[in-house]
Chain A
Amino acid sequence: MSIAVLGVALAAALGVALPPGEVRADDTATARHLLLGVRAFKAERYDEALVELRVVARAPDAPADLAFYLGPTLYKLQRYDEALAVFVASRVPADALTDFYRGQTYYQLRLFRKARAVFAELRARGLGPALHDAAGRYVATVDAAYQAPPAAASIDYYLAAGLERLATDPLVAAEYLDEARQVEALAAQPHRHPEIVAALAAAYNDSGRPQSTIALATAERPAPPPGKTSASPAAPPASPSAPDSELTWQLARARAATGDAAHARPLLDAIIKSRGPHAADATALLAKLAP
């Protein structure tokens, strides 16, 4: 039986039928380039596929699901960082095949906890038999590597990789920092936890995801028990350390970005009063807040 027949049948089983508004191989130049890219991918001429898909990416009528084509092509070219950037920047819900390649990309970048989560979710979601078994093998391999608690040096690796990318690519940095957070959670002893959380919050804010920052900070600083009052559900500690101050600043930024002036203002006041490294930024942000 040919691989192509199996592939088509498997694709059908995974429910990758055309979503509404999808580009078909009609007469537009973009559609022609897309089809050429797909044909090159099929023939395993990935360099050629990338050239065609880059043309598609630049077109004003580029399909919304470009990650479905471009991400796996970059993966096959072993350009894993770029593939990850494409996958995480995609704004359309991913189908099972795109997620499978995203999982493989995490795996190659040694973001093993992130890969495990994708493959475990895919198995729960339902895959064709071949990919279901493969996803199970990925999960089992990661689990075997984490049978013993991870070393502090592994956490350091992910934190350093995230911090290195924070200024240039916060979206990808967040992936490394989230991996650091997950690996640290499995460690025998806490290790640089406040630093990881503060850096992850910064990456979320810098990549335009203030809601993720708020969720993260709220999980770190749960709301006070009933009867006790607090300026904010995620109030800063009385005498904050440097990472705590950073997390407070990131939370204030996130609150301001979501238009939640009522929660942003007390946080900014506290930062200004502490005269910490973000005092000037906090003053400027406070001035911009709606009364």
Chain B
Amino acid sequence: MRTLRLALLGCFASIAGPTAWSAAAGAGDDPRSEMAAALAAQADLSPTPIVLPVAAAAPRHAAAASAVKRGTGPRAASDVARTADTAANQVSLHAQAQAASQALAHQAQAAAAAAAGQAQSQAAKDRATHPHR
């Protein structure tokens, strides 16, 4: 074990040269060397699987258009669209944390579509309830 340690340190020293070696030797004396050692030891060496994020752009336009048609402000509609975005990306983030499976990516898109559907459905209900608006 001791031999292996010495061999590895020797290898690093030969790569880095004498200046870096002396910095490592005096690591207890200055914050930068101590921090460098901690950074190297605590780096995340294995990336988590990823799913590309998506925005529910089309539902946002649909909801905004509905709001304009109703003569109401776009704020409520854009809030709903934002909820759809958030839902999609929460599922997307969850998928990233769990696994990079295509199924979860589809789940994210499905959540966005469902939220957008709800927004459009609500807009339609509003129109039906207040046709004169």
Contact = CB atoms under 8 A, between A and B. Distances in A.
Interface in B4-37: 4-5, 8-9, 12-13, 15-16, 19-24, 27, 29-37
B42 interface: yes
Contacts of A150: 52
A16 B43 contact: no
Contact of B31 (A3, A24, A137): A24
7 contacts: A5-B5, A7-B38, A8-B36, A12-B12, A101-B39, A130-B45, A157-B55
A236 to B, nearest CB: 28
Interface in B50-66: 50-57
Shortest Cβ-Cβ A-B pairs, 9 listed: A11-B36, A12-B24, A7-B41, A17-B23, A7-B37, A153-B54, A157-B55, A156-B55, A156-B57
Contacts of A128: 12, 15, 40
B20 A41 contact: no
Interface of A: 1, 3-18, 22-25, 31, 34-35, 37-39, 41-42, 44, 65, 68-69, 72, 76, 97, 100-101, 104, 107, 110, 112, 128, 130-131, 133-134, 137-138, 141-142, 144-146, 150-154, 156-160
B52 to A, nearest CB: 5
B1 interface: yes
B51 A145 contact: yes
Given A11-B39, A151-B54, 12 more contacts: A6-B8, A8-B27, A11-B33, A11-B36, A12-B13, A17-B20, A17-B22, A17-B33, A97-B40, A141-B47, A153-B109, A156-B55
Contact of B41 (A6, A31, A69, A145): A6
Contacts of A3: 41
Contacts of A10: 12, 37, 40-41
Interface of B: 1, 4-5, 8-9, 12-13, 15-16, 19-24, 27, 29-47, 49-57, 85, 89, 96, 100, 109
Contacts of B41: 3-4, 6-7, 10
Contacts of A141: 47, 49-50, 100
Interface centre among B9, B13, B19, B34 (most CB of A within 10 A): B34
B23 A16 contact: yes
Contact of A154 (B31, B35, B54): B54
B45 A157 contact: no
A25 B85 CA distance: 48
A149 to B, nearest CB: 11
B35 to A, nearest CB: 5
Nearest to B33: A11
B33 A44 contact: no
